[in-house]
Amino acid sequence: MSEYAKFTEDMIKTHTILVPDMLPIHFKLIISIFEAEGYKMELLRNDSRAVVDEGLKNVHNDSCYPALLVIGQFMDALKSGKYDLDRTALLITQTGGGCRASNYIHLLRKAVDRNFPQIPVVSLNFSGLEKDSAFRITMPMFLKLIYAVMYGDLLMTCYNKCRAYETNKGQSEKLLEKWERRIGNMFIKKSRFFLKLEKIATDILNDFGAIPMSDEKKIRVGIVGEIYVKYSPLANNHLEDFLISEGCEPVVPGLLEFIMYTASASFNNAKIYDNANSRSRIFRLGYEIIYRQQKKLIKIMEKQGIFEPFHDFEHLRSLADKYISQGVVMGEGWLIPAEMASLVQSGTENIICTQPFGCLPNHIVAKGMSRAIKEDNPNANIVAIDYDPGATRVNQENRIKLMLANARR
């Protein structure tokens, strides 16, 4: 492959950066942070079969399904004719861990270089993986990103609950759009009001809490698994929408838990392998700052009382210790069994574990630990759903319907 196109300072003003559709609510808020710094971004929403077909053309079929979808969505968008290919860039996230997600960027660059060599690919990461890119995240931006994730988690939680019970269909969606605009404008206008966590979170909770909701008792279904398939409507075939159509309430753990899991892996590994260094100490400090904010948000939700608070991350870590070592950090590692155990413990006994093809760590920790969790919790109803290019939506939904039938019994 020839030297790949690099993202330069000049491109900040001239290029539109396309963003893959993993968390629509969160990513809209995150995009507004970058727009305030002069970047122009667009969240991709193309999700036809052509996305999968483009992925199959450009990614080896041994690669994991999320890589295939992310790259397929980019390639489908670039071939759509909607974009000026000389003024377009692509953004992809990298965890920096052992998961193959850290290597998606190389697969993407290979596909882009073969078809559109002028298009640069930029990396959103916090591990210093890209040294020669003009796309950078400053400390003030990092702080805003954490708040965007917290507000995104809160909006996702309120929205999923309200639209499952709302008596006036569509009211929850309109309120979600209102808050997406309001919080996004705070970031775009560089207002420091976003720091008023208690005020904003309470207003969000009260607004959604005022939506008229039926008192019908519905089955609560937790969604866990590999991070991309767990959250992305493209990857999980609009799983949350399907559950609501089946008369259920989807319960989705927040993105902040994954961020804290990633941060804790650094200093926890340093303890396990006795190799503490400046990097692990920085991650420890960052973790403690984020954890304090999470505890503050939990207290706000407890005080308001309508919506179930997020799971305290230190409690998640203690639950993980019951089933698996915190040294298991490939992919989503110990976080998956911890989230399953915490969901069951808090009354969400029906759980779907989204499992993409090619994610070996996910299959091991999810399927391997679900049996142990069921042994401790006989009422736990856990089903693993496979997502890959050959899996049909009908078969996936039939398996979920079978799980729901067991839940209703």
362 or 286, greater pLDDT: 286
With a CB cutoff of 8 Å and minimum separation 6, the contacts of 11 are: 89, 120, 134
Whole-angstrom CA distances from 73 to 51, 103, 234, 393 are 5, 17, 9, 18
3-state secondary structure 2-24: CCCCCCCCCHHHHCEEEECCCCH
CATH 3.40.50 maps onto the chain at 11-137, 217-408
pLDDT of residue 261: 95
Gap between the Cα atoms of 226 and 246, Å rounded: 23
pLDDT of residue 105: 86
pLDDT one-digit tens code per residue, 61-100: 778 899 999 999 999 999 999 999 999 999 998 766 666 6
pLDDT of residue 274: 87
pLDDT one-digit tens code per residue, 20-51: 999 999 999 999 999 999 999 999 999 999 99
pLDDT one-digit tens code per residue, 381-407: 999 999 999 888 999 999 999 999 999
- Confidence check: pLDDT of 259 > 80: yes
pLDDT of residue 19: 96
Calculate mean pLDDT across residues 212-219: 95
Token digits of residue 194:
């976003």
pLDDT of residue 64: 87
- Which CATH number applies to 217-408: 2.40.360, 3.40.50, 1.20.1550, 2.30.30? 3.40.50
Token digits of residue 127:
């591990």
Gap between the Cα atoms of 110 and 365, Å rounded: 31
pLDDT one-digit tens code per residue, 328-357: 988 899 999 999 999 999 999 999 999 998
Give the percent of the chain with pLDDT over 70.
97
- Confidence check: pLDDT of 192 > 60: yes
pLDDT of residue 1: 44
pLDDT of residue 377: 93
pLDDT one-digit tens code per residue, 133-161: 889 889 999 999 999 999 999 999 999 99
CATH class entry, domain 11-137: alpha beta
pLDDT one-digit tens code per residue, 232-258: 999 999 999 999 999 999 999 999 999
Average pLDDT over all residues of the chain = 92
For residue 70, give the nearest of 88, 47, 86 by alpha carbon.
47
Calculate mean pLDDT across residues 219-226: 96
Q: Where are the beta strands (DSSP E) in 4-115?
A: 16-19, 40-43, 88-93
- Confidence check: pLDDT of 129 > 70: no
pTM: 0.94
380: pLDDT confidence band, cut at 50, 70 and 90? Answer: very high
- Confidence check: pLDDT of 267 > 50: yes
